[in-house]
């Protein structure tokens, strides 16, 4: 699970940087994304900032 969160945070960061989020940390952290975990097949919305607050080492 921790590894999946690391991958997700890296994906989010790259995704927002490459999709015109104007590149500022502020804007990147306000964006959110919908994702699905493979083990329970439920959908979740998460923002980069909430991931970052919970796992600052990512």
What pLDDT does 23 receive?
A: 52
pTM of this prediction? 0.36
* Total domains in the fold of the chain: 1
**45 contacts 32 by C-beta, under 8 angstroms:** yes
CA angle 34, 10, 42 (to 5 degrees): 30
Residue numbers of the domain that contains 30: 2-54
What pLDDT does 4 receive?
A: 76
What pLDDT does 51 receive?
A: 64
Beta strands in the chain (DSSP E): 32-36, 43-47
What pLDDT does 27 receive?
A: 60
| pLDDT tens figures, 2-58 | 777 777 777 776 766 665 555 555 565 566 666 666 666 676 667 766 666 665 554
What pLDDT does 9 receive?
A: 73
Q: Which residue's structure tokens are 């994304």?
A: 33
């Amino acid at each position: 699970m921790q590894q999946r969160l690391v991958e997700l945070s890296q994906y989010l960061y790259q995704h927002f940087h490459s999709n015109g989020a104007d590149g500022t940390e502020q804007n990147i952290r306000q964006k959110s994304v919908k994702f699905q975990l493979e083990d329970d097949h439920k959908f979740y919305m998460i923002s980069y900032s909430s991931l970052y607050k919970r796992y600052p080492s990512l």
